[in-house]
Structure 1
Amino acid sequence: MKNILLFILLLSSHIVISQNLIEFRTASLVDGDYSLEGDVYLELFDDNSLNLRFDTNYLTQSNVFDVHVFLTNNNDYTQPIDTSGMLLVENIGTISGLNYSSGAMTFNLPSGVGINDYDHIVFVCIQFGQLHWGDGTFGSTSLGIIKNDFGSKLLAHPNPTDGNFSIDLGAVYESVEIILSDINGKLIRSESFRQEQLVNIPLKEPSGIYLITVQADNRKASIKLIKE
C-alpha cells in the first residue's frame, strides 16, 4: 500500500495543469524620465489567475536602480509620484544588484484583483525622488476565444505560446480546417486535417497577436493567440 501511495504522489507531482487564456489587455510602454519600450499584458485565465506579463520586446536602460512597477488609475506622474492607492507589482531593480532591464517576464497578481481594476502601469524610481521612469495605458479587454460553436470541450493551449500550440476539438471530425491570420485579418496560411480531434499547430511566426479560425462540420471557432 505504501508503495502504491508513493507512486501516486510521484505521478501527481508531474501532472501539469494547462491554463486557457480568457481575456487580456495590452499596453505599450513609453518613456518617462528614462527610456522605456515594449508591450505588457494583463492576462486572465480560466482558473481565475491574473498575470502581468512583459513581452520579449521589453527594454529599458541597463542601470535599473530601485525601480518599482505599479498598477494604477491615476496617471498624474508629477514628481515626486504619489504611489498611495497604487498596486505594487514588483521591484525590478535594486542597489544590491537586481536589474531586470530587458526580455520577457511574468508576475502573478494577488487574488481579488480584476483585469479591469487598473488602467495604467507606471515605473517609479523610488530611491531617487520617486521619478517617473516610464508608463503605459491598457486598452480595452479582448477575448481569448472570440467565437466557439464546439462547446465547452474545445481546449486551446497554451495561450500565450512559445510556438507549440494545440487545439482539442473535444471529438473526432471528418474534416478540419485551421486558418492563421494576423490581428488585422490578413491570411498567413491555412491547413487541412482529416479524422482529427487534437490538432498541433507549430507557430514559427514572430512574437505578436494572431487570430486562429477553426472550421469543422459547419462549426466554427475563432481564437486570439499570443505568441511570446
Structure 2
Amino acid sequence: MSNMHDTAAFREQYRAYAQSRYSGWLHLGSILLISLIGAIYCIFQISELRAHELLIIPLGILAYNAVEYAAHRWSGHNKLRFTKLFYKRHTGDHHSFFSAPLLSFESTRDWRIVLFPIYLTAVITFILAPLCGFFLSWVASGNMGYITAATMILNHLAYELMHIGYHQPKSHWFHKVPVFRELAHLHRIHHHRKLMKIYNFNLTFPLFDLLLGTFYWEPQDSFDDFRD
C-alpha cells in the first residue's frame, strides 16, 4: 500500500470525524485575538524602559526555542507517560495527515490539524506567561517581567502562524519568500516518515537542531516526493 494512499485515507477519515461546525478562520482569529490582547497589555505596562532590559528579548526567544525543540522531539515523537495526548495528536494525527507527498492542507477546515487548541493559547497567555513574567519582575525588574511575558506570547503566536504557512500549498506566496521558503522546506523534510523522529524538530528557527546535531537539509529539487 503506498504512502499516498495511506495519507489520503487518513485524511478522509479525519475530516469525517472533525466537527462539521468547525471554522478555521474562527480558530485562527481566536488565537490572534487572545495573543494580541495579552501581548499588547504587557507592552503598555512598560515604563521608563532602560536599554539593558531589552536583553531579555533574545534570552526569551532562546528559551522558547529550547522548549519548542524539547517538547517536539521528546514529547511529540515519544509516547511518554504524561504526554500521551500530545503524542497522539502530533505523531498520530498531524503526521498521519501531513505525510509526503501530501504536505499541504486543502481548505481552512484542515487548520484543525495544524493549530493547537484555543485553550492552549489561553493557558500560555493568561497563566504561563504571567507566571514567568512575575518571576522575572521579582528577580530583575517589572519591565523585564512584562517583556518576558510578551515575548513568550508572541513566540507562540509566531509558531502558529509559521506552521500554517509551512503547510500552505507550494504555489502560495509564503513558499516564495526567502527564509520562510527555506524554513518551510526544513519542516516538510521533517514530515518524511523515515525522518520525523530524527531530524528538524525546531519549527520557528532551527537553533537547537543545529546545536544538538538534528539539523538535516537537502535541496528542494532532490525531494521529488515533496512536491504537491
Q: Shared topology, TM-score over 0.5? A: no
Greater strand fraction, Structure 1 or Structure 2 = 1
TM-score by length of 2: 0.21
Greater helix fraction, Structure 1 or Structure 2 = 2
Give the structure with higher Rg (CA). Answer: 1
TM-score by length of 1: 0.21
